[in-house]
Amino acid sequence: MSEKARILIVDDDESIRKALTAVLEEEGYAVDTAQSGNEAIKKCNENYYNLALIDIRLPDMEGTKLLNAMRQDTPPMVKIIVTGYPSLSNAIEAVNKGADAYLLKPMVMDDVLKTIKEHLDKQRGARKYSEGKVAEFIESRARELEAEANVGNATQ
């Protein structure tokens, strides 16, 4: 893949944003950051991100709420909730609200990179599949049009 995967970090903690940005850029991702839920929503509307790391607690809203508020793209953006309050109910809630994964603070960077990579791979596979589908559709449509044209020519 030639194009860099785009990652949005949503966290109000500056050092987290900076440290994660440094690590992820070093790993070859295109990283953008948002300090609040609203900023995140705004950025999502303007740009496409393959993946978002969302802190569960944001100054203006709960991270789980943000999951629903962000634009639904195709293929869907991978949403990973980051929380400092580890508990099963927390995790279940996050997943129910549409999170693809769940990371605990303090984040162990190896784990973070691994999780991101896994989900991006999955996303790429899904895109390929849908790209294949589109190509197949276009091809079959083209054949149909061609056939129609042939029929038209014949009748003319």
Partner 1 sequence: MPPNQSEVLVESAAAQGKGLEERLSALNFYGGKLNSADNLQQVYELTLSAMEQLLGFEHASFLVKDRDYLKVVCQRGYTEQLSFKLPLDGSKKGITVAAANKGRPLIVDDVTKSPEYVPGSPEVRSELAVPVEIEGRTVGVLNVENRQLGAFDEKDANLLQILASHAATAISNLEKRQEIEKRSSQLTSLMRSSAEMIRSADLRQRLQRIAEAIEELGWRRVVISVRDENLQIARPEDMVTVGLTDEERRYLWDKRPPGHVWAERFGQEFQRFKVGEFYHLRWSDPWVRQKFSNGTVDSHLSADEMVDWDPQDLLYAPLKLAEGRIVGVLSIDDPTDGKRPTRDSLAPLELFIHQAAVAIENAKLIQQLNSARDQIREYAEHLEEKVKERTRDLKESEERSKSILTASPDAITVTDLEGNIVECTEQAWKAYHSPSREDLIGKNAFELIADRDRDRARSDMEKTLNSGLVRSAEYTLLTQDGHEYPAELSASVIRDAMDEPIGFVAVTKDISDRRRMEQQLLKAERLAAIGQVAAMVGHDLRNPLTGIAGAAYYLKIKLGAAMEPRATEMVELIEKDIEYSNKIINDLLDYSREIRLELAEASPKGIVKEALGHVTIPENVDVADKTKSNPKIVVDSEMLVRAFVNIIRNAVDAMPNGGKLTISSKQTDTDLEIAFSDTGLGMSEEVLDRLWTPFFTTKAKGMGLGLSICKRIVEAHAGKILVSSAEGKGTTFTATFPIEPCLSGGEVA
Which residues form the interface with partner 1 (CB under 8 A)? 13, 15-16, 18-20, 22-23, 26-27, 84-85, 88-89, 105-110
**What would the 3-class secondary structure string for 35-72 be?**
CCHHHHHHHHHHCCCCEEEEECECCCCEHHHHHHHCCC
**Shorter beta-carbon distance to partner 1: residue 107 or 123:** 107
Assess contact for 82 and 57: CB atoms under 8 A.
no
Q: CA 94, 98, 104, 110: dihedral to nearest 10 degrees?
A: 170
Count of beta carbons in the 10 Å neighbourhood of residue 19: 14
**Shorter beta-carbon distance to partner 1: residue 97 or 105:** 105
**Shorter beta-carbon distance to partner 1: residue 13 or 73:** 13
Of the CA atoms within 13 Å of residue 70, those in its CB half-sphere come to 36
Minimum CB distance to partner 1, residue 19 (Å): 3
Q: CA 23, 29, 34, 35: dihedral to nearest 10 degrees?
A: -10
Minimum CB distance to partner 1, residue 11 (Å): 8
**Shorter beta-carbon distance to partner 1: residue 52 or 123:** 52
Minimum CB distance to partner 1, residue 130 (Å): 33
Minimum CB distance to partner 1, residue 117 (Å): 14
